[in-house]
Structure 1
Amino acid sequence: MAKVQKTYTKEFKEEAVRLAQTSGKSITQVARELGISDTSIHQWRKELAQHGKDAFPGSGHQTALEEENRRLKRELERVQQERDILKKAGEHLFAGKQMIYYFIEENKQEFPIVVMCRVLDISESGYYAWRKRPTCQRRREDARLTNHIRQVFTSHQGRYGSPRIHVELKDRGVQCSRKRVARLMHEAELQAKRKRRRVVTTRRDATHPVAPNLLERDFTATAPNTKWVTDITYIPTIQGWLYLAVMLDLYSRAVVGWSMSAECSEKLVENALKMALARRRPKAGLLHHSDRGSQYTSLAYRSQLTQAGMIMSMSRKGNCWDNAAMESFFGTLKEECVGDSVYQSHAEAKQALFTYLEIYYNRLRRHSTLGYMSPFIYEKFGEQQAKRNV
């Protein structure tokens, strides 16, 4: 006698899967009780996870076109669901399996577990084994702290290492040690951008007089507008080099003046000086330090310094360490702002540099020399201290 192929209704299949998921019994035990194979339940569960309400459509009652439309609809829903999972998982994808397990656990009401495991390349058995393991308090705290670290790291576009992130977390009320932050960053593969060496852009004119090195590598200042340092760097673009002149106040490391141009000319440094003077209005006696580049030794530039009552100081010939504060600043700017970017035009580069200098560096970026305060916050703090001492 020929064996009769059993068929099951959509409702039967759905209830069988639900029973296997909620009864606490194994799939094999449920299948035995229902008189079906455990393979069937496994297959039905996958179909239900992938297609939802459109699972188990039946056969023989639709035209070929209707069946194809249903299939395409299910495929689109599947793709959209996978996109939603990947979009929401986002930062968890590179934080290790533990964080992915946490994500699946937190979102199991929104997405099927089997789908999340497949999309996030995690085995279901691994996830369920993780659920059964008791999670120690320390690991739970590490997971939460890693989330905080990643938020700070992302908000500063990968510019912060463990010291600055540690200070940022402390200010946000998150208590932890710097070594722990460093360890968790290493485990999460979060590494701050590295500084690069700077290429010399200024050239000396032997016919111009030079000033002695009065700064003598003392890059400290007890008050604003007492010591300024300045230099020029270049930014690569598809349109050609964009030159940037910057002036720093050594008291707070604030950028007090800057100028950008396609030409590395005297006008470039003059404009940076004009901006600094207009912004800060320093008193006579300010020490102005630069290298011996022809832009800084020109008659026009020296005349402007004299009119402002500034004292000129210059690095020794070929000695970059005499202006190390500027060297350090440009190294930071090249790594944190430019990085591997190749700007399409001068206008694009100018916008990026303006945003970095005026919005990020002066107002937000924590400076190790300033006790991990931003330049402007450090200056405000100094003003408050001065008022208290009056």
Structure 2
Amino acid sequence: MPKKKMKYDRAFKENAVKLSYEKSTIIEVADDLGIVPCLLTKWRQEYQKFGTGSFQGSGFPKVHPDNLSCFELEKKHKESELKFEILKNATPYLYQGNLIIYQFIKDNEKKYSITKMCTILEVGIGRYLRWKKYGMPKKQQYVTLLKKDITSIFYNFKKKCGKKQITKELHKRGYEIVEGQVSFYMKGLGLRSVAKRKFKITTDSNHNYYIAPNILNRNFKTDAPSKVWVSDITFIQTNIGFLYLTIIMDLFDRKIIGWSLGCRLFTATTTLPALEMAVKNRTVIEGLIFHSDRGVQYANKAFTKKLNSYQITSSMSRKGNSIDNAVSESFFNSLKRELIHRKSTLITQKLMKSEIFDFIENWYNKKRIHSALGYKTIEQFTAINNLKQE
């Protein structure tokens, strides 16, 4: 039967070392204490190196008391470096739900301590070990996938969508969820759409030109293309002055069918080129109504003559009543919230023109979902209604 290995406490080892310096030989002391001389030699070497910091036992650092402060500082420094390294490697997974974080921990178990990763990533070690053994509960899998889809939708729409749009998009993906739940998860994920800002009115209605009656009368829904076009002008500040954007929208599908961007508020650089583009992009049919505010760019003879040449009927908002042209105002709200106001500094006119083109032609007219179209893109709405793209 093998001999049982003896264990000695710290006090015994310290006394044995001190006694060894009082006796003539190590062998003599070892015989008196009933231990082998080589063990006493080992204890003496440790005591010479670490002093009263010796014989702390497993799990405790061996360090001389005089060096304890430096040791603690080095330990904290190493822990900080390790924490930074783990966080740096885990950053891409932090907001994708527990399932992704658990997988990261599992993939890095050989590199880092499980306890350390769970502590730094604020994951319960018990929950992680249960997931590792049994997998994730169905409810938790559902929530994880839901959060992932909410985040995906938010960033696919360039942070420009709120809870209503995300809820509608989730419904298309098969989720049964209400706006309040989406709002709750968005807050938890730190997702916040760009806030709206007010902008100045550019309408100059102090003129003697003819003012058309308000034929549209806030009837912002039509059942076919080219029944009502609405138009408005806004200003956009750049690093060397202002640009003036004129848009023409077909109320049927909310598509921007004509637009113009220039440095001057002249009719020749605003409403006329926008109208020419609209006529080129969409067929004018009999009875078409063109609605705008009372601005001089819409009321002057040059523009009204051009409308008459296409047999388009003019309609204008009532004085000082921007709600009469609410759809155009809404477009400019979206433009400034989703593009202009997101910039921390003013950019050049050339770059702004390029970004406005991309926003209208590639984003708004193709990829952006519209509440007025049942939370569909213009292209989806066109396909559903079996209309030819114009």
TM-score between the two structures when normalised by the length of structure 1: 0.72
**Equivalents in 2 of 1:332, 1:110: separation in Å?**
49
Q: Does 1:320 align with 2:361?
A: no
Secondary structure in structure 1 of the residue aligned to 2:230: strand
* Residue of structure 1 equivalent to 2:355: 352
How far 1:209 moved relative to its partner?
1.1
What code does the residue aligned with 2:128 have?
R
Task: Summarize the Cα distance change of 1:205–1:158 in structure 2 as closer, same or farther, 3 Å threshold.
Answer: same
Structure 2: how far apart are the matches of 1:114 and 1:159?
A: 38
Amino acid at match of 1:339: H
Instruction: State the partner residue of 2:72.
Output: none
Change beyond 3 A, Cα 1:253–1:384: closer
Partners in 2 of 1:376 and 1:138 — Cα distance?
35
Distance in 2 (alpha carbons) for counterparts of 1:206 and 1:122: 66
Unaligned runs of 5+ in 2: 1-16, 19-43, 48-54, 63-77
Kindly indicate whether the alpha-carbon contact (under 8 Å) linking 1:213 and 1:314 is maintained by their aligned counterparts in 2: yes
Measure how far apart 1:101 and its partner are.
4.2
Determine the C-alpha separation between the residues in 2 that align with 1:362 and 1:323.
20
1:82 is displaced (CA, Å) by 5.6
Following superposition, the deviation at residue 165 of structure 1 comes to 1.6
Change (3 A) 1:345 1:103: farther
Report the CA distance between 1:346 and its aligned residue.
0.7
1:38 aligned residue: 59
Structure 1: give runs of 5+ residues left out of the alignment.
7-31, 42-74, 386-390
1:122 equivalent in structure 2: 121
Identical amino acids, percent of aligned pairs: 28
Work out whether residues 247 and 272 of structure 1, in 8 Å CA contact, stay in contact via their aligned partners in 2. Answer: yes
Secondary structure of the residue that 1:377 maps to in structure 2? helix
How far off is 1:297 after superposition?
0.8
SS in 1 for 2:385: helix
Aligned to 1:55: none
User: Is the 1:101–1:127 contact (alpha carbons within 8 Å) kept by the matching residues of 2?
Assistant: no
For 1:299 and 1:111, the matched residues in 2 are separated by 77
Which residue is equivalent to 2:34?
Answer: none
2:383 pairs with 1:380: yes
Match of 1:145 in 2: 146
In the TM superposition, 1:168-247 aligns within 5 A as 168-171=169-172, 173-179=173-179, 180-247=181-248
- More displaced, 195-204 or 147-156? 195-204
- Give the drift of 1:363: 0.8
Question: CA separation in 2, counterparts of 1:191 and 1:247?
Answer: 30
Which structure's CA Rg is the greater one? 2
Give the structure 2 partner of residue 105 of structure 1.
105
Match of 2:265 in 1: 264
For 1:200 and 1:327, the matched residues in 2 are separated by 10
Q: 1:102 to 1:352 in 2, by over 3 A?
A: farther
Q: Work out the CA distance in 2 between the residues paired with 1:332 and 1:294.
A: 25
The answer to whether the 8 A contact 1:254-1:376 is kept is: no
C-alpha displacement of 1:337: 1.6
Distance (whole Å) between structure 1 residues aligned to residue 86 and residue 125 of structure 2? 22
Q: How many angstroms does 1:344 deviate by? A: 1.7
What RMSD, in angstroms, separates the aligned Cα atoms of the two structures?
3.2
